[in-house]
Each structure stands twice: as structure tokens, then as C-alpha cells.
């Protein structure tokens, strides 16, 4: 009884301590039950040694089973701790299961041979024949099993990674003993057997965790200078939200094709799954920027033009432009010939919704007339951007920059897709040089507009100190115009 009184209290104390530890660390909970049974088994073993119970192999079996379960679970917890420390993540459940099955098998064999006298030589010989037959019958399944073990051990990818296996790609959702399950871009589930995964080259898009590089290629006509194309593409990339800033995106001339110069835009995305959205945005902006800057993307095509006699359908852009200019007081001093000449120097441009047409404080010399669409005019006040107005078809902005070259007084952003006519200083130079008196009339009109704005409450576009003197304001504007155009 002396041994029993030592085993039971000590086992009870250790069981309570292990239960307390399991409450703090849930990973130890699987050990509490086997440890308590092992304590009772040791107490029963003491009773056998003292002759209280008759020695029996079945009694020994009841004693050894809890000890084997405790040993296997403790080994599994230790393996998980070592694996997590070295790999930085918990081991796959398949690997835990395989190790547990092996340990249980070895433990059962030792118990059978040591305490029950089972001869394992004959069993191993018979099992070899049976294993060969079963192995041939389950060749594919066993191949998937061992391939799955290899994948778990080497860990070329983990759950949540975007990978490409052969010609198929997707996001890893599950890695089982038989197959790897992927979620494709279309939202479908793709199940690939592990032995097939192991036979192919695996490309992991999610490792390393640093930004991932992507490439967009575009061909441009030989008539466009490369410096212009590179400049337009670099400006386009600055407007794309969501690109990684380090490393910065870049543009290079890749090679010369038969009919195009090939340019490559390389950019980086923080997460691989964002690349499709960002790639689409870059492709979308390329069309608008190229068309606005007169850059052609030549593609092999065949054009068939069928002209049908009769009245023209719709109003031409030239007619719309001249009609709009006649309704703008700024161009009122121009004669019909001068107005037609000015209309011929306007260029049509296209802007995508959300693009900045002009930016506050930036230099400029262009006048904008809205042909279709709507723009938003805003200005920074107290560190915040405040919307001042919305301009629509037939309205204009940028007249002071055209006539005096002063910096932009506000920011103008396209509220949606916008078509505008643009006239810059070079287009207006010949007209005002041929008739300098136009500058006098235009300065009067600008002075009237500035005076009206200065009377408005919260005027934020006023840039001249009028001192409530319209004549002085007109003289100052006229002087700016003459100096700017050299007349």
C-alpha cells in the first residue's frame, strides 16, 4: 500500500496541474484525459505488483493503452511546437495524422510482441505480400498520399496563396491527403490530385510577401516620338490609385515590331489579387491619354467607307464649336474671319471620368470649351478641397491662362467622360498679333468678369487687387496681355 499512497496523490496533483495548464494553453487539453487514465493505470500496476490483482495480459493492455495515447499526443504537441518555430506556421493536419498513425502502429507492434508474444516476422512477411497487392490496387491513392506528405513537408505554398500549377492557377483553399483544392478567378473550385501537383512546376504568386511586379505591353505608331509616349505613360501611372510606390513604376521602349514600337509598362501591386483591377485601370487610361495626345495604336484592319447621298446626319464638331464661340463674350471682339481662324486652331480632347484637366497652381496657357459632359471646379481652402461650381456643355474655363499665362486658379476634374475643345497660346498668337486692338476689348471683358466676381460673396478666384477701381484693373490686365503676346 505504500506505493499506492505515493502514486495516487502524486498523479492527482500532476493531473490537476496539467488541467490548469490546459486552461491557459488549450493545446495541452488533449493530454489531460490520457494522463488521468495513465495515473489510474499506474495505480492498478502497483496493485498487481503487490498481489492485490492477479497478473494478466489484459490488465497490462488496459494499463498500456492510456500510456500509448498519452505518449503519441505529447509527441504530436512537441512536433507542432518545433514545426511552428522553424516554419513560422502550424503544421498541416495531414502531417499530424500521418505521424500519429505511425506512432500508434509502432506502439501497437511493440506491445503485441513484448507483452503478448506475437511473432512479428511471419506477420511482416505476410503483410509484405498483402501490401504489394494493396499497393498495386491503390497505386494512385498512395501516390497522392505521399505527394501530399511531400507538399506539406516542403511547403511550396500554403492555404491562402495564389499559385499556378501547370497551366492552371487559383487561390489555395485546402490541402488534403489526396488533392489540393484551388479557387479559380471565375469563382469555381478546381481539385488537383497531389501527385499531379508534385509533377508540375509550381509558381507561387504570394511569395515573397513583397510587392509583385506586373507588365503591360502596348504598341504605338512609328510617327510618334518615343519621348512623348514615355512621358504620357508616366503621367498616366501617376493617376492610378493602388500601385505600390516602392519600387516605383517604370516605362521602357521594348523593341521594334513590323508596324509598331513596343513599349512596356512595369508596375508593382501590394497584393497579387489586385493586379487585374489595376491592369484594367491602366488599359482604360491608356486609351483616353493616347487619344487626347494624338498617339495612335495601329492594328491590322480593313476600313470600308460607304457614303450615302443625302443630308448629313447631326451637326459637325466645327459647326458646334463656331456656334459656341459666338455665344462667349470673350470672343465677341473677333470678326467672322478671325472667329473662323480661331475655331480652326482649337483641338478636340477627351478626358475620362475622374481625371484632372487642370490643377490649381500649375502653369498653363490653354482655354477649354466644354463640348459634352460635365466638370467639377474646386479650390483648396484651409487645407481642404472645396467645390466651387460645376460646368457643363457650352461653358468654358482657363481664359486668364490663355491671355495672361497666369497659374491656374482652381482645379478642374472631369465628373464623367468629357469632350472639350482646347485653344493654347500658340493657336491664338497670330490672331492677336494681326489685330492688337483685340487685346483692348478683351481686357475690358476680363475686367468686367473679374469685377463681377469680386462683388460675389466668398470669391476665391479673384487674383487681382482691384482696390474697387475697374479702370486700374483693366489697365493691369491689358498690360499683362500685351507683355504675354509681345504686342
Cβ–Cβ under 8 Å, residues 419 and 372: yes
The cell for 239 is 493617376
The predicted pLDDT at position 206 comes to 83
Q: What is the pLDDT along the chain (487 residues), one digit of tens a residue?
A: 455 556 666 666 777 776 777 677 777 777 777 777 777 766 666 666 555 555 556 666 666 777 777 777 777 777 777 767 766 666 666 566 767 777 777 777 776 666 666 666 655 555 555 555 444 444 555 555 666 666 666 667 788 888 888 888 889 888 776 778 888 888 888 888 877 777 777 888 888 777 888 999 999 998 888 989 999 999 999 889 889 888 899 999 999 988 899 999 999 998 888 888 999 999 999 999 999 999 998 876 555 656 555 444 556 788 888 888 888 877 888 888 888 888 888 999 989 888 889 998 888 888 899 999 999 999 888 878 888 889 999 888 888 888 888 888 889 999 988 999 998 888 888 888 877 777 787 888 877 766 665 554 444 444 444 445 677 777 888 788 788 877 6
Backbone angles phi, psi at 232, to 5 degrees: -65, -40
Cβ–Cβ under 8 Å, residues 170 and 192: no
Q: What angle do CA 348, 351, 354 make, to 5 degrees?
A: 160
Q: Where are the domains of the chain?
A: 2-118, 155-204, 212-292, 317-485
Instruction: Report CA dihedral (21, 24, 26, 31) to the nearest 10 degrees.
Output: 0
CATH code, 155-204? 2.30.30.60
Q: Whole-model pTM? A: 0.57
The predicted pLDDT at position 300 comes to 64
Nearest to 415 by CA among 398, 394, 392: 392
DSSP 8-state symbol, 242: T
Cβ–Cβ under 8 Å, residues 283 and 257: no
Same fold, 155-204 and 212-292: no
The predicted pLDDT at position 232 comes to 93
CATH number for domain 212-292, candidates 3.20.20.70, 3.10.20.30, 3.40.350.10, 3.30.70.100: 3.30.70.100
Q: How far apart are CA 144 and CA 176, in angstroms?
A: 9
CATH code, 317-485? 2.60.120.10
Amino acid at each position: 500500500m505504500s506505493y499506492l499512497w505515493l502514486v495516487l496523490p502524486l498523479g492527482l496533483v500532476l493531473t490537476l496541474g496539467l488541467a490548469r495548464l490546459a486552461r491557459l494553453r488549450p493545446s495541452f487539453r488533449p493530454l489531460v484525459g490520457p494522463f488521468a487514465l495513465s495515473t489510474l493505470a499506474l495505480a492498478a500496476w502497483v496493485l498487481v505488483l503487490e498481489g492485490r490483482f492477479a497478473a494478466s495480459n489484459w490488465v497490462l493492455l488496459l494499463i498500456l493503452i492510456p500510456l500509448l495515447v498519452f505518449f503519441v499526443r505529447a509527441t504530436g504537441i512537441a512536433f507542432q511546437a518545433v514545426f511552428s518555430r522553424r516554419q513560422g506556421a502550424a503544421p498541416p493536419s495531414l502531417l499530424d495524422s500521418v505521424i500519429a498513425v505511425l506512432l500508434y502502429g509502432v506502439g501497437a507492434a511493440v506491445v503485441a510482441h513484448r507483452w503478448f508474444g506475437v511473432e512479428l516476422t511471419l506477420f511482416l512477411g505476410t503483410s509484405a505480400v498483402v501490401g504489394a497487392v494493396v499497393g498495386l490496387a491503390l497505386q494512385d491513392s498512395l501516390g497522392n498520399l505521399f505527394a501530399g506528405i511531400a507538399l506539406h513537408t516542403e511547403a511550396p505554398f500554403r492555404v491562402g496563396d495564389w499559385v499556378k500549377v501547370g497551366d492552371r492557377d487559383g487561390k489555395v483553399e485546402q490541402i488534403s491527403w489526396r488533392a489540393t483544392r484551388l479557387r479559380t478567378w471565375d469563382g469555381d473550385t478546381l481539385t488537383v490530385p497531389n501527385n499531379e501537383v508534385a509533377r508540375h512546376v509550381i509558381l507561387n504568386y504570394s511569395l515573397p510577401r513583397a510587392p509583385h511586379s506586373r507588365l503591360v505591353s502596348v504598341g504605338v505608331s512609328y510617327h510618334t516620338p518615343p519621348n512623348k509616349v514615355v512621358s504620357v505613360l508616366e503621367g498616366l501611372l501617376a493617376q492610378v490609385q493602388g500601385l505600390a510606390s516602392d519600387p516605383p513604376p517604370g516605362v521602357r521602349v521594348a523593341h521594334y515590331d513590323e508596324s509598331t514600337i513596343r513599349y512596356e509598362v512595369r508596375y508593382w501591386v501590394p497584393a497579387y489579387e489586385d493586379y487585374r483591377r489595376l491592369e484594367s485601370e491602366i488599359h482604360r487610361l491608356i486609351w483616353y491619354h493616347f487619344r487626347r495626345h494624338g498617339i495612335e495604336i495601329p492594328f491590322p484592319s480593313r476600313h470600308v467607307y460607304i457614303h450615302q447621298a443625302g443630308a448629313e446626319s447631326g451637326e459637325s464638331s466645327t459647326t458646334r464649336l463656331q456656334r459656341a464661340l459666338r455665344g462667349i463674350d470673350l470672343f465677341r471682339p473677333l470678326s467672322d474671319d478671325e472667329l473662323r481662324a480661331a475655331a480652326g486652331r482649337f483641338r478636340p480632347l477627351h478626358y475620362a471620368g475622374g481625371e484632372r484637366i487642370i490643377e490649381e497652381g500649375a502653369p498653363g496657357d490653354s482655354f477649354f470649351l466644354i463640348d459634352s459632359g460635365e466638370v467639377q471646379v474646386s479650390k483648396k481652402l484651409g487645407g481642404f478641397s472645396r467645390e466651387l461650381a460645376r460646368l457643363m456643355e457650352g461653358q468654358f474655363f482657363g481664359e486668364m491662362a490663355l491671355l495672361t499665362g497666369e497659374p491656374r486658379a482652381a482645379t478642374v476634374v472631369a465628373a464623367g467622360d468629357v469632350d472639350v475643345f482646347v485653344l493654347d497660346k500658340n493657336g491664338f498668337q497670330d490672331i492677336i498679333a494681326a489685330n492688337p486692338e483685340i487685346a483692348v476689348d478683351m481686357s475690358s471683358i476680363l475686367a468686367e468678369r473679374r469685377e463681377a466676381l469680386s462683388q460675389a460673396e466668398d470669391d476665391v478666384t479673384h487674383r487681382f487687387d482691384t482696390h474697387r477701381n475697374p479702370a486700374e484693373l483693366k489697365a493691369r490686365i491689358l498690360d499683362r496681355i500685351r507683355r504675354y503676346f509681345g504686342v
